[in-house]
Amino acid sequence: MLNIHVRKRQGDFTIDAGFSVGDAGVTALFGTSGAGKTSIVNMVAGLSKPDSGRIVLNGRSLFDSEQGINEPPERRRVGYVFQDARLFPHLSVKANLTYGMRLVPHTERYVNFDEVVRLLGIEALLDRRPARLSGGEKQRVAIGRAFLCSPALLLMDEPLASLDQSRKSEVLPFISQLSTCFSTPILYVSHILDEIEELADNLVLIDKGAVVAAGPFDQLKTSRELAELMGKTGVRRGMPSRGLKIAS
């Protein structure tokens, strides 16, 4: 369970947002581009520091401005899949996958290497260098790398944004599959509703740095807040070719 309430000023833009992420399933952080979604996720990861507030993960304070707590990213047990895969170019796929895993004590590992590799279908890629991978393959490796850290929470910041349509359908099914398989809670950032429809159990709607609505996706999908948000530019109904659902 993640509880977060943070405030941060960035120029003349202020983020003041509070919400919770449950113990399992996918929670989508949905809003227009520039609504502050990435900033919030970066604060959860410890890559940027809120001006004030609290971030509590499973009862452990990751950040608390009153108590002066600010855990560094490497001690948060929060995984992160970035928009660009950010694989280490000098390491093989296998070394990329195990980079974080090797730093986790055996007793705290709940994600199995062989299983992740099998689920993601990347057995044949293990000895390659990232430069030899396609965009979709890179993102799958990045997802595997983040899962293999056995995180208490996994952040995904528009992991499909840099992929074209057919590549997206090459990655999307794996996300829900892995999430179910290891029951890792995921906080998924997106501005494309179709992705969220496919993945999300819960929804947090963000606008201008604040939460406008939060709750189970099924309840919110017909809500006025979502309709209002969809009326704005910068969110997308989604993929033009809905019929194209290829599981590779």
Phi-psi region of 238 (alpha: psi -120 to 50; beta: other; left: phi over 0): left
CB of 78 to other proteins, least distance (A): 7
Return d(Cα 189, Cα 204) in angstroms, integer. 10
With CB under 8 A as the contact rule, the residue among 13, 52, 88, 218 that binds other proteins is 88
Return d(Cα 50, Cα 40) in angstroms, integer. 9
Per the CB < 8 A criterion, the answer to whether 86 and 130 are in contact is: no
15 touching other proteins, by CB under 8 A: no
Nearest alpha carbon to residue 50 among 27, 28, 66, 34: 66
CB of 128 to other proteins, least distance (A): 6
Q: Which two tokens stand for residue 190?
A: 């997106």
**Integer CA distances (angstroms), 101 to 5, 45, 57, 132, 145, in order:** 29, 17, 20, 23, 8
Per-residue x/- marks for other proteins, 178-217, CB under 8 A? ----------------------------------------
| Residues numbered 17-76 forming contacts with other proteins, rule: CB under 8 A | 45-47, 72-74, 76
159 touching other proteins, by CB under 8 A: no
With CB under 8 A as the contact rule, the residue among 66, 67, 131, 231 that binds other proteins is 131
| Residues numbered 210-229 forming contacts with other proteins, rule: CB under 8 A | none
With CB under 8 A as the contact rule, the residue among 79, 136, 144, 159 that binds other proteins is 79
